[in-house]
């Protein structure tokens, strides 16, 4: 199989060697950074991006706040569903990791014993990025850019073929988009109920919480007015 890369008859393997070969000419510290970024950093960045989008939506409030927050809740759920869908796919395809079939790869992450197709990291990040795009285009574009970089990192680290990454992108996108309508149908009413509640409204909209607080204070003031007038009459 390694010979196929030399002949150029297998673009997948050829691109694997091209991208992973970049690691051979970089400083050791840079490879360590790429290892952390590709394994954990970009996943953490995706979570922080979703939290940042939620904070922005919450501060802005508005009539669509509940629907937008519901879409943000769907983002991590879509990632979990996509990974679960990937379990039988991996078991059916049973594609070994590239370093098991090809010599000369610079493998920067050791201990990978499971199957290669499709990439969980690519699946998770793209599912979250696409779901985030449904909620907010600006944040979603950043999320999808992070997912693309995650895919590059997985090949750079020598633990996935490019087609593993492309398959992960396709799976994450399909789950996030195809299951979005039923997910939103369930989550949006729930988040609207949370927004209307006295205890959880701040999770959806800070503006709604302020309005309810002002209304509560006004009700208390109205309730105190008759008593105050009666006290004035007695005093007179």
pLDDT of residue 230: 54
Give the mean pLDDT of 196-219: 62
For residue 225, what pLDDT is reported? 53
- Given a cut of 90, whether residue 82 has pLDDT beyond it is yes
Cis previous bond, 118, omega within 30: yes
Structure confidence at residue 25 (pLDDT): 83
Rg value, the chain, Cα: 26
pLDDT tens across 30-62, in order?
A: 999 999 999 999 999 999 999 999 998 888 777
Token look-up 């105190």 returns 224
Q: How confident is the model at residue 195 (pLDDT cuts 50, 70, 90)?
A: confident
Distance CA 123, CA 94 (A): 17
CA distance 155 to 210: 49
**Domain boundaries 2-204, corresponding CATH code:** 1.20.144.10
Mean pLDDT (the chain, rounded): 85
Q: In the prediction, which pLDDT does 143 show?
A: 96
- pLDDT higher than 80, residue 209: no
How is the chain split into domains, by residue range?
2-204
Q: Is the pLDDT of residue 11 over 60?
A: yes
> According to the model, what pLDDT value does residue 48 have?
96
d(CA 42, CA 93): 26
């Amino acid at each position: 199989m390694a010979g196929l890369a030399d002949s150029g008859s297998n673009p997948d393997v050829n691109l694997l060697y091209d991208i992973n070969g970049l690691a051979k000419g970089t400083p050791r510290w840079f490879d360590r950074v790429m290892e952390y970024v590709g394994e954990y950093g970009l996943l953490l960045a995706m979570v922080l991006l979703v939290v940042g989008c939620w904070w922005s939506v919450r501060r802005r409030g508005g009539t669509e706040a509940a629907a937008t927050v519901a879409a943000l809740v769907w983002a991590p759920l879509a990632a979990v569903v996509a990974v679960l869908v990937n379990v039988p796919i991996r078991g059916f395809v049973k594609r070994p990791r590239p370093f098991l079939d090809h010599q000369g790869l610079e493998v920067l992450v050791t201990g990978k014993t499971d199957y290669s197709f499709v990439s969980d990291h690519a699946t998770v990040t793209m599912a979250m990025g696409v779901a985030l795009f449904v909620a907010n285009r600006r944040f979603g574009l950043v999320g999808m850019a992070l997912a693309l970089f995650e895919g590059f990192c997985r090949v750079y680290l020598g633990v996935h073929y490019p087609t593993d990454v492309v398959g992960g992108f396709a799976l994450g996108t399909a789950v996030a988009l195809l299951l979005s309508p039923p997910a939103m149908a369930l989550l949006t009413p729930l988040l609207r109920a949370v927004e209307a509640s006295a205890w959880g409204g701040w999770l959806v909209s800070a503006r709604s919480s302020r309005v309810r607080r002002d209304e509560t204070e006004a009700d208390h003031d109205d309730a105190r007015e008759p008593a105050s007038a009666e006290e004035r009459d007695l005093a007179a």
